Structure 1
């Protein structure tokens, strides 16, 4: 790339930075005053004319300055050389806040709250997808001799509790046998394989009386926990942040809120970024969702030991602090994975 192109990109970078900070169209004089571009106002005006002709900036009103277009933001994001790393104290604060979560639900709630505060955008975290989860432990507790509490814990920290009503009472020895049989069938297996194993076990012991009946009833209940459900759960936070930027959405804030409520569009955007450790930025029309006009979505995945648990990210106006938001999304995702992975270990 030639020096003129490099200089024009510096002008574009300055326009993006100033527009994100001020919300006001940027003129050539302001650029020269605020940034050490090393050229005259006339040169900056010429560069702005070229950038406008190429579709990177536009003039919203006659006799006003320029603002970045979606193409301009994309060029800016593609050429972010390095995302400013968070400081040691910032990283420690994030990790400490997430580690204080008492269980999976609490960790994810904290992550959403933290990400919304850090970015001042809408934060979204997808619950761990069942298809990638492995049964880490099965616990069975006798509430009465004929009533059991079964607790399934996955490697992603997901905990599912179910009550089993037995047809007959069982003693402590039988309870221990039941725990061992079901544990051997389930533990260490992906949920799909675990559901097959527990169904096979129930079929094998069917009609054997005593423990066979307890296994059959337990298996029926366990399958509700193990079989993949079509619906996925999302946690969102900071929706009110959208109202700070109503003007950025061109009056389409209602359709954005409706899309967030329906969750289908958001799930599709998160599912499209299932490459571990990679942060994806979709700007404006790149979201391929008409309801999301004027928004950008920055998303990534979280997980542990190479396993992706789910997607997460933020949604806000195209006029956002991309370097800072990318850094915060990446950091929170990394620490969610660390916290959940440590607890699964």
Structure 2
């Protein structure tokens, strides 16, 4: 018995179980797959795979089902992410091309991914910590308060109140805004904060020194506040059709823990394999509510360059170090999800969001 044939049997079991969600027996494998050996030989292979922890045999059935270890082997050896269908590609194009803002695009992406996979879709807005400054405006809104409106390269618009002891003349405020926009565009919010502090101490800005210091503090605060990420979620109703009632309560609790979910999916997207997609199966997430679920995640970025056709998952990306993910898109479903299809859908939506950010983000 060869190891390679045994693993072909494992792959066949995983594929059949994903499709039927019924324990898989040697007889059905023999009929459905051309493995070149008898049913008895396959039965021996399945017994060996069970001994090795790749399969388990429910006590109520003669068939076997994959374990987490079995799914992990299967996922790690998905050599290519299959392209989406033409209809699905048109669907993504249609949904995202009609977006009127970044928020609208992210909401649409979550709804669409949920429809494609039949699972829970989660899309995070771009992180302010990884954004760069595109424009800032400061507008007096009260006797001692200015509103700073900060626009980033990813299309995020953040607002921050600036308290001042004495309101400077509007001309001085406008001059400060112009200087900040001239010197800080393209800088991260953290570096922009440092630059604004230097501007505050330079000659000619004495009247707005307090305003500049408050703006620098605001930039620093926004750069550190990962909670500013918003999560757009869709498809929770799909869970009722794919999970047992015993699994639902902890799973919904896990979905409510957005900080935990965000950290998990962000880490997955950054640790993704050559396929550009990260997968966590069951207990690998170290999250009790996701014990019977799998998470598929991919990062999207501002200037991701891809080969022609990659948006449908059919070609490899050509990322550079300058194009690290600024946010993620992912799908959550049962451990018996269709991994190949889910990975393709997640990757495709991530590619379209990258293109949207790159082409349209600054205008949002």
User: Does TM-score exceed 0.5, indicating one fold?
Assistant: yes
1:193 equivalent in structure 2:
191
Instruction: Give distance in 2, aligned partners of 1:120 and 1:4.
Output: 37
Which structure has the larger Rg? 1
Instruction: Give distance in 1, aligned partners of 2:205 and 2:155.
Output: 35
Determine whether 1:258 maps to 2:253: yes
1:331 equivalent in structure 2:
348
Structure 2 unmatched ranges of 5 or more: 304-322
- TM-score w.r.t. the length of structure 2 is 0.81
Q: Deviations over 1:218-262 (max 9, x none)?
A: 653574355221424322221222211223x8x232122112212
Structure-to-structure mapping, 1:15-34, within 5 angstroms: 15-34=13-32
1:68 equivalent in structure 2:
66
1:104 equivalent in structure 2:
102
Instruction: Give distance in 2, aligned partners of 1:296 and 1:5.
Output: 27
Q: CA deviation at 1:278?
A: 2.5
2:330 equivalent in structure 1:
313
**Residue range with higher mean Cα deviation, 298-307 or 138-147:** 138-147
Instruction: Give distance in 2, aligned partners of 1:275 and 1:39.
Output: 38
1:270 equivalent in structure 2:
265
Seen in structure 2, the aligned counterparts of structure 1 residues 25 and 258 have a Cα distance that, compared at 3 Å, is same
2:309 equivalent in structure 1:
none
Q: CA deviation at 1:164?
A: 6.6
**Residue range with higher mean Cα deviation, 30-39 or 137-146:** 137-146
Q: CA deviation at 1:60?
A: 0.7
Q: How many residues align?
A: 336
Structure-to-structure mapping, 1:1-345, within 5 angstroms: 4-139=2-137, 150-162=148-160, 167=166, 170=169, 176-204=174-202, 208=206, 212-213=207-208, 216-217=210-211, 220=214, 223-224=217-218, 227=221, 228-231=224-227, 232-247=229-244, 251-273=246-268, 274-275=270-271, 278-305=276-303, 306-344=323-361
Instruction: Give distance in 1, aligned partners of 2:341 and 2:147.
Output: 46
- TM-score w.r.t. the length of structure 1 is 0.85
Structure 1 unmatched ranges of 5 or more: none
Q: CA deviation at 1:89?
A: 5.0
- Measured on the aligned residues, the alpha-carbon RMSD in Å equals 3.0
Secondary structure of residue in 2 paired with 1:252: helix
Q: CA deviation at 1:31?
A: 1.8
Instruction: Give distance in 2, aligned partners of 1:203 and 1:25.
Output: 72
Q: CA deviation at 1:59?
A: 0.9
